Amino acid sequence: MELLNKHLPSQDQRTELVTMLQTWIDEGDVEEQRETGKYLICALDEDRLSQRPLFPSDLKDVTW
């Protein structure tokens, strides 16, 4: 137990971390997130060994 207490953040630090993460989530830029998502989808589909896309556009909002 001493080892855990030594290396884990205190309750106050955990509360601060949770608050900070929640702030990041709440203040997220929706347009930036959409652009990042589009970029990631394209990047994942570019270097596939298969010709089949990982995220087919006809399944958008159905399976992903």
First-to-last alpha carbon distance for the chain, in angstroms, is: 42
pLDDT in tens, 25-59: 888 788 888 899 899 999 988 878 888 888 888 88
3-state secondary structure of 36: helix
Whether the Cβ atoms of residue 64 and residue 55 lie closer than 8 Å to each other: yes
19 pLDDT tier (thresholds 50, 70, 90): very high
Listed in sequence order, the residues at least 6 apart from 42 whose beta carbon sits closer than 8 Å to its beta carbon are none
Q: Which amino acid is at 35?
A: E
Residues 55, 44: contact at Cβ < 8 Å? yes
pLDDT at 13 over 80: yes
